[in-house]
Amino acid sequence: MLTQEQTPADEAETFQRKPLKEEVFEHLYKRIIAGKYAPGERLRQEEIASRLGVSQTPVREALDLLASVGLAERVPYRGVRVLQLSTEEIVDSYVLRLLLESAAVRVAAVNHTQAQADRLVQIVDGMKPPVTLNDMSRQRQLNLEFHLLSVAASGNALLVKIYGMVSNKFPDWMLYEYLFRHPELLQSSLDKEYDEHKAIASAIADKQPELAAQHVITHITHRQQELVTFLGIPEELLEEKARQFNFS
């Protein structure tokens, strides 16, 4: 187990409440969100295990979990690295989110179960401000769960699978990492995100397909400005791609 003496203060953790692989996963997850690992940086299994004072098995499993949620990728013969996305991949994922999510929530507003509607509301409540910097990794996980569930509520398994691939190419964790480094922007950004998620959940629960789709389009379009401001993605490129699918 990790102790304060074994690691630097910002890394000291005790792995007791959850399976060890999940504790290691959350530790690495938080470090990525906080910008302590850069895009493209290798996550060396042996080094991480040694630093945390655990065996390599839970570290390997934790790296697999990171890859499954889109924060890391396995590179043949080179191990695992933090996901590094090209501008083209980010732009394409942005436009495909507009296309797929707006279509999915239209159907979700008709097909959802009561349990799914209730869970969407619970997720939104869990994201209710105020949020601290220490909450950022959990905030990102709830955000991901919200969007995956809103698509899953459509009842279309193939759409869910395709959307999962797209969402793994959208750099929401990079946007959160920017907020982590600019805490003066944190609350206003997350306030807006909370209100938009609440509107989407309410429209789905109230069986209003067109309203749900419009709220999703508004929500994702707001991410466009963040991509431009936070990550330096060319705005004209985002708008050009969006116009190709009649989003503008």
Both 49 and 146 in one domain: the answer is no
In the structure, what pLDDT confidence band is assigned to residue 1 with cuts at 50, 70 and 90? very low
pLDDT in tens, 102-121: 999 999 999 999 999 999 99
Last residue of a domain, one of 82, 114, 135: 82
Orientation of helix 136-152 relative to helix 114-126, angle to 10°: 160
Last residue of a domain, one of 67, 82, 97: 82
The total domain count for the chain is 2
Both 147 and 228 in one domain: the answer is yes
* Domain assignment present for 4: no
Both 151 and 211 in one domain: the answer is yes
* Domain assignment present for 3: no
- The C-alpha torsion from 80 through 38 and 12 to 16, rounded to 10°, is -40
Q: Please say whether the dihedral angle defined by the alpha carbons of residues 80, 86, 91 and 96, taken in this order, is positive or negative.
A: negative
Query: Contact, 26 vs 41, CB < 8 A?
Result: no
Cα 189 from Cα 194, distance rounded (Å): 9
Q: What are 187's two structure tokens?
A: 């609350």
Both 59 and 91 in one domain: the answer is no
Taking residues 56-80, report their average pLDDT: 91
Determine the pLDDT at residue 79: 92
Taking residues 91-108, report their average pLDDT: 96
Both 77 and 97 in one domain: the answer is no
Comparing 11-25, 162-176, 205-219, which segment has the lowest mean pLDDT?
11-25
Taking residues 76-97, report their average pLDDT: 93
Q: Whole-model pTM?
A: 0.80
Determine the pLDDT at residue 220: 96
Q: By percentage, how much of the chain surpasses pLDDT 90? A: 69
Alpha helices for 112-234 (secondary structure H)? 114-126, 136-152, 157-167, 172-181, 186-205, 209-231
* Domain assignment present for 43: yes
pLDDT in tens, 124-144: 999 987 888 778 878 888 999
Cα 60 from Cα 227, distance rounded (Å): 32
Query: Contact, 203 vs 215, CB < 8 A?
Result: yes
pLDDT in tens, 188-227: 999 999 999 999 999 999 999 999 999 999 999 999 999 9
- List Cβ neighbours of 5 (8 Å cut-off, separation of 6 or more): none
Domain that holds residue 122: 87-244
Amino acid letter, 103? A
CATH number, domain of 102, equals 1.20.120.530
